[in-house]
Amino acid sequence: MKARVKWLDNMSFVGESGSGHSIVMDGAPDSGGRNLAARPMEMVLMGMGGCTAFDVVMILKKARQPIADCIVELSAERSEEIPKVFTKIHVHYIVKGRGLSEKQVEKAINLTAEKYCSVSIMLAAIAEVSHDFEIIDD
């Protein structure tokens, strides 16, 4: 896996993935940025959300669960000291579908957290990661 990041101007950068997709990053105004895009640490958190959501949907589909939607809300705390790494991350899953099995949803979430989501597992090595979920019968 490869990536490339190029400085644009001020504190704006464009990142390009090895698969050819680009995303802009920017800093906060107090760091010289213009607040035009997500910060790098926000992107790490979004990456974790995307990784785990992908797993949950895939696992529930394979289990033939009637999933209609999956929303992952993440909240994180960072160290006060530099480097300001994540110290706590909470992941809240909102899974929608008519007649979803609570047992299957819980199993999918545990599997992504403990076995499949590389981002979650990597971040759990440095931060306290917790999760919960709700099911909406849709």
What is the greatest pairwise CA distance in the chain? 51
Question: What is the CATH number assigned to the segment(s) 40-136?
Answer: 3.30.300.20
List the chain domain ranges: 1-37, 40-136
pLDDT tens digits, one per residue of 5-62: 999 999 999 999 999 999 999 999 999 999 999 999 999 999 999 999 999 999 999 9
CATH hierarchy code of domain 1-37: 2.20.25.10
Model-level pTM?
Answer: 0.93
Q: Residue 138's pLDDT is what?
A: 84
